[in-house]
């Protein structure tokens, strides 16, 4: 199953990575999957393994003067 996803998307820069990550998270949320928490990934064919943490943030609204941007 993992190989199906890998062949469906080409990621060659950080913007494409962020877009792919956002899409998979949004799909999971729409299907009632709780994505919050730590996710450990053991990679095949690589010397690296990864830990990804997903934390829910308070939604920022346009014109919100509490924003730190």
Tally of domains in the chain: 1
Residue 69 lies in a domain: no
Residue 59 lies in a domain: no
pTM above 0.75, yes or no: no
- The pLDDT of residue 68 is above 90: no
Residue 68 lies in a domain: no
Share of the chain above pLDDT 70, in %: 83
Which tokens sit at 54?
């997903």
Residue-range definition of the domain harbouring residue 15: 2-54
Contact 54, 37 (CB under 8 A): yes
Residue 62 lies in a domain: no
Count how many residues are written for the chain: 69
- The pLDDT of residue 66 is above 60: yes
Strand blocks (E) in 1-69: 37-42, 49-54
Contact 39, 52 (CB under 8 A): yes
- The pLDDT of residue 1 is above 60: no
User: Residue 44 — pLDDT band, cuts 50, 70, 90?
Assistant: confident
Specify the pLDDT at position 46: 82
């Amino acid at each position: 199953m993992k190989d199906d996803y890998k062949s469906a998307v080409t990621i060659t820069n950080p913007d494409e990575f962020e877009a792919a990550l956002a899409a998979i998270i949004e799909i999971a949320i729409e299907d009632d999957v709780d994505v919050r928490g730590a996710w450990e990934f053991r990679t095949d064919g690589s010397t690296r393994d990864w830990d990804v943490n997903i934390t829910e943030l308070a939604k920022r609204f346009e014109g919100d003067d509490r924003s730190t941007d």
